[in-house]
Structure 1
Amino acid sequence: MKRLSLIAGAALLGLGATGASAATLDDVKARGTLKCGTNTGLAGFASPDAAGKWEGFDVAVCYAVAAAVLGDATKVEFTPTTGETRFTALASGEIDLLVRNSTWTFSRDNDLKLDFVGVNYYDGQGFIVSKDLGVASALELDGATVCIQTGTTTELNLADFFKQNNISYQPVPIQTEAEARQQFLGGACDAYTTDASGLASVRATYPDPANYIILPEIISKEPLGPVVRHGDNQWADIVRWTLFALFAGEEYGVTQANVEEMKTSSDNPDVRRLLGVEGDLGAQFGLDADWAARAIAANGNYGEIFAKNLGEGTASNIARGLNAQWYDGGLIYAPPFR
């Protein structure tokens, strides 16, 4: 009897786990829209255009997930979040997915009970100053006032950097990029610190970008990526493998323009599995065979998304660096689709 009870208990746990794992997917399908948390406005990453349509490197992931799950990349409701509100919005169920230049850390993964499903941008924290300040290194910022977003890893990294180098600073707390711009350009702080990619993006929006320099020091590792709630493995897998599909699309030459053609013209087994021509990968987590093809068709593969929103020639003008594919010396790498 005891053995039977244990078996029955295990079966119930298994059923419970299955039910819980399907919750977010079921909710998104029933609602007909994906609720995606993003930035309040960061050029190149997440900002509304003149018509109010959200665009950028991070929001492209939201569009790709909507396309994969709902068959329509436009079925996304965006919720702007700050450094302090983003994780609460996710934990409370206000949003299904957070893609907001958020750093994967031990505490966020475990203490906050969040799942970072991958890294879509490898970054590091830096500093921007006006040329008029007359400094060429962050080590020369002793006694400076520094604008810093509260509720972020940059706040903690800033304290560590100044302590380790035995120099002092005066923090000027801010909540949003818009506030940072106002305070920094208004002279309320000598320097502004955030992820180096963010510095490049905001500098491009300043009235005289050439008058501002990004100092050479990178004081942290900032792996940024999409986040979901703990305990929903199916949903985490869907978001994770949608991101990997964008990576793989670049690796295999599958683009927004040729994705439909590649379904019939490619004899590469990896491409054929990715695009659902062979195998049943989609069915394994509750989607149809075309999920990855739709994700790539939404905004292009990872390389196309990077080039359009952040790459060289854009206002941000960021080189691929660590965010190049693994075969080009970067860290972008998709596991096998098999």
Structure 2
Amino acid sequence: MKGPVVIVIAVVAALVGYFAAGAINKPAEMKAAAPAAKKAEPAKASGGTLAAVKAKGVLSCGVSTGLPGFSAPDKSNKWSGLDVDVCRAVAAAVLGSADKVKFTPLTAKERFTALQSGEIDILSRNTTWTHTRDTSLGLNFAGVSYYDGQGFMVSTKLGVKSAKELSGAAVCIQAGTTTELNLADYFRFNNLKYKSVVFDTSDQSVKGFESGRCDVLTSDQSQLYALRTKLADPTKAVVLPEIISKEPLGPVVRQGDDQWFNIVKWTLNALINAEELGINAGNVASMKSSKNPSVQRVLGTASDMGKKLGLGNDWAANAIGQVGNYSEIFERNVGKGTPLNIARGVNALWSKGGIMYAPPIR
């Protein structure tokens, strides 16, 4: 009889323990229950750069050490150029004044470090958008402000009419640029030999070319036209017809701040859209009364496009009114009436035979 009694007692004890544990733990389980899930919301950008720029009251812009037409200081240290105007447009959009910019001259080797470290807020320095730069440096390219391609400039006394006649030539190149790799690819593919003469800055490259240290100077074609103006006698150098690469140039910002990325990207887009819509620095005020919905969205008269960027709705109107549309910026700095005398070419609007095109502001 002892065995069955023990078994019954054990079973009863187990049941009592089970229900007691449930009674004790139930309130705890109820407390631990997760609250009802809320509908997911889009992640919000930190806006750190915008806040910092507003706090400083000035935009820090990285530019070249001096490239006529794109970023160069005059005798009074006033900067001008296509790249300079991109920064001035961003300053107008963000701070309300295109003059609130601090320009920091940087070599090709220095430019990315300066942006990564936070020394500058935006890099607008004839910089090519490439896969490696976009994916491995912690940077974002905000669009294309100038479509370019690498070319060659030679002394007229060399008597060369094609890049394929340059085998054995000494070539001046600038360190830290896509130029070096493109040059190696082109000469290897065409079974040509060359000797590279490397310099840190574009000014040094020009001096090396002019002094005879090299037979050829290679760079983006726009830069070659700009650098030719620095020669004692520009007529003694000619730019060869070949273009050996694609060099889409544009402004760059740090990754991790989507709001700032959007501000720079859409300011550039606004300048291009303004040209297409016929909005310019001279008529921006009168165009605010336009009934065209696209114009109204750009100028902020019937939309909150600026608010979506964390800016006032007159952000684009300020940029266009103070700096001009893309056409005005191009012609003023590198166009037919300048020493560079560069035709619009592929940088003309898509509707006028070029490939310049911006997403719509809507």
Q: TM (normalized to structure 1)? A: 0.94
Aligned identity (percent) is 57
C-alpha distance in structure 2 between counterparts of 1:7 and 1:74, whole Å = 49
Which secondary structure state, in structure 2, belongs to the residue aligned with residue 21 of structure 1?
coil
The aligned amino acid for 1:131 is: T
Contact persistence 2:206–2:230 (CA under 8 A): no
Partner residue, 2:88: 63
C-alpha distance in structure 2 between counterparts of 1:70 and 1:240, whole Å = 16
Structure 1 residues 30 and 166, CA gap change in structure 2 (3 angstroms): same
Partner residue, 2:5: none
C-alpha distance in structure 2 between counterparts of 1:320 and 1:4, whole Å = 62
The aligned amino acid for 2:210 is: L
Partner residue, 1:76: 101
Structure 1 residues 143 and 280, CA gap change in structure 2 (3 angstroms): same
Structure 1 residues 301 and 138, CA gap change in structure 2 (3 angstroms): same
Partner residue, 2:315: 291
Residue 141 of structure 1 pairs with residue 166 of structure 2: yes
Moved more, 328-337 or 67-76: 328-337
**Residue 327 of structure 2, aligned match among 293, 303, 311:** 303
Structure 1 residues 3 and 133, CA gap change in structure 2 (3 angstroms): farther
Partner residue, 1:269: 293
Aligned CA RMSD, in angstroms, stands at 1.8
Residue 50 (structure 1) shift: 2.1
Residue 330 (structure 1) shift: 1.0
Residue 321 of structure 1 pairs with residue 340 of structure 2: no
**Residue 242 of structure 2, aligned match among 184, 192, 217:** 217
Partner residue, 1:158: 183
**Residue 75 of structure 2, aligned match among 39, 50, 55:** 50
| Runs of at least 5 residues in structure 1 that lack an aligned partner in the other structure | none
Contact persistence 1:273–1:279 (CA under 8 A): yes
Structure 1 residues 280 and 208, CA gap change in structure 2 (3 angstroms): same
Which secondary structure state, in structure 2, belongs to the residue aligned with residue 142 of structure 1?
coil
C-alpha distance in structure 2 between counterparts of 1:84 and 1:336, whole Å = 35
C-alpha distance in structure 2 between counterparts of 1:276 and 1:132, whole Å = 56
Residue 256 (structure 1) shift: 0.8
Partner residue, 1:201: 226
The aligned amino acid for 2:107 is: T
Residue 4 (structure 1) shift: 4.6
Contact persistence 1:21–1:235 (CA under 8 A): no
- 1:24-79 deviations in Å (ceiling 9; x for gaps): 11110111110000000000000012221100011000000000000111110111
Partner residue, 2:126: 101
C-alpha distance in structure 2 between counterparts of 1:82 and 1:33, whole Å = 22
C-alpha distance in structure 1 between counterparts of 2:167 and 2:338, whole Å = 34
Q: Hey, which bits of structure 1, 4+ residues long, moved more than 4 A? A: 1-8
Residue 87 of structure 1 pairs with residue 102 of structure 2: no
Partner residue, 1:249: 274
Which secondary structure state, in structure 1, belongs to the residue aligned with residue 179 of structure 2?
helix
Partner residue, 2:253: 228
- 1:251-308 deviations in Å (ceiling 9; x for gaps): 11111111111112x1111111100100100001100010000111122100000001
C-alpha distance in structure 2 between counterparts of 1:188 and 1:113, whole Å = 37
Partner residue, 2:214: 189
C-alpha distance in structure 2 between counterparts of 1:43 and 1:7, whole Å = 58
C-alpha distance in structure 2 between counterparts of 1:181 and 1:70, whole Å = 37
C-alpha distance in structure 1 between counterparts of 2:282 and 2:96, whole Å = 17
Contact persistence 2:152–2:216 (CA under 8 A): yes
- 1:62-99 deviations in Å (ceiling 9; x for gaps): 00000000011111011111111100100111100000
Contact persistence 1:120–1:226 (CA under 8 A): yes
Which secondary structure state, in structure 1, belongs to the residue aligned with residue 288 of structure 2?
helix
Which secondary structure state, in structure 1, belongs to the residue aligned with residue 212 of structure 2?
coil
Residue 168 (structure 1) shift: 1.0
Residue 204 (structure 1) shift: 2.3
Residue 174 of structure 1 pairs with residue 199 of structure 2: yes
**Residue 358 of structure 2, aligned match among 316, 319, 334:** 334
Which secondary structure state, in structure 2, belongs to the residue aligned with residue 89 of structure 1?
helix
Structure whose alpha-carbon radius of gyration is higher: 2
Q: TM (normalized to structure 2)? A: 0.88
Which secondary structure state, in structure 2, belongs to the residue aligned with residue 160 of structure 1?
helix
